[in-house]
Amino acid sequence: MRDHAARTRVGLTVRQDTVRADDDPRIHVTRSGLRALEFQGRSLRLLPEQPAASVLNGRHASRLRGRGLNFEELRGYLPGDDPRTIDWNVTARTGSPHIRVFTEERDRPVLLLVDQRMSMFFGTRHNMKSVTAAEAAALIAFRVLDQGDRIGGIVFGDETVGELRPRKSRQALDRFLLALERANHALAADAPAVDPAMSLNQPLASALRIARRNHLIVIISDFDEIDALTEKLIGTLSRHNDVVLCPVTDPISRDIPEGVKLVVSDGSLQAELDTSSHQTKQSLKTFASERLSKLLSWQRRFGVPILPLDSGEDTLPQILRLTGHRVSIRKRRR
């Protein structure tokens, strides 16, 4: 009983009737649809050695650290030992050379932060941004488990944050997919507006508590509601972990149609945007470019790579291109 109450508080359970199996997969994901991505994503590579054209390669941003090291023992120096492992403090105290021996961790925890707020429930072509984010998270999660690492996630909406600590098990991955499905199905055009909506800072603070060091943290979001604290949290996380930013955008953010009246809503209020107005169109372009400029400044300052995702096309080919893989898959049937 107490376990059920705790899971409800963090958003890992919802009423069963909120999951609608007959939804268009471009609007809402299902666990079966996410599971079907498992074999498609086996060509992904999330290890430190990346293809030359990958944005995760050291030429483009900070090279992925890989797995951490565990301290094994302190012992006397033997011929053939690497001099760089000498512990000079112990050597000075004892008068004889000593080295520190480390072993590589057997696996590496990966934490996926997946945005399922109402700002992600938007799409003008192909997918909702929320669907693209969920698909990308599932593809990465399957690949992480397949390469022998632990997988965990923070799935957050406007009111709930679901935390799943990294585990190396199929059951942990299934719980993650369930959290994705339920958070995604909580999004609806008639959902009541939440004021104030959750910013990115609360999930980032949760990640900072879970991922002390040597984690790979992938943030999949439209990066709505970011501020100076967001930047501080990103910088703190990247100090001892590898952080990858995956901004999800809609094609309309870079290709605003001429002479079209757009109706946008937060679930209770509506506004009409007339793109025939030069001022309106310029304001929309400025808004999108300023958000991208902020992420690029984080890339330069903290060395975090950026994998931009577009909801206007299939998710897997984008990730393959960005990570330097050849794309040769057939278009997925809907």
> Which residues have CB under 8 Å from 160's CB, separation 6+?
9, 10, 11, 183, 186
Class of the CATH domain delimited by 2-59+107-322: alpha beta
**3-class secondary-structure state, position 185:** helix
**What is the Cα–Cα distance from 138 to 309, expressed in whole angstroms?**
14
Predicted confidence at residue 110, as pLDDT, reads: 93
Domains of the chain, by residue range, sit at 2-59+107-322, 69-104
pLDDT for 129-143, tens place per residue? 999 999 999 999 999
Predicted confidence at residue 286, as pLDDT, reads: 66
Predicted confidence at residue 174, as pLDDT, reads: 95
pTM for this predicted structure: 0.74
Predicted confidence at residue 289, as pLDDT, reads: 74
CB 151 within 8 A of CB 145: yes
Count of residues for the chain?
A: 334
What does the DSSP 8-state code read for residue 306?
A: B
Spans in the chain with pLDDT lower than 50: 1-22, 47-55, 57-63, 329, 331-334
pLDDT for 163-193, tens place per residue? 999 999 999 999 999 999 999 999 987 777 6
- Of 265, 2, 8, 314, nearest to 160 by C-alpha is 8
**Which two three-digit tokens encode residue 52?**
């030359």
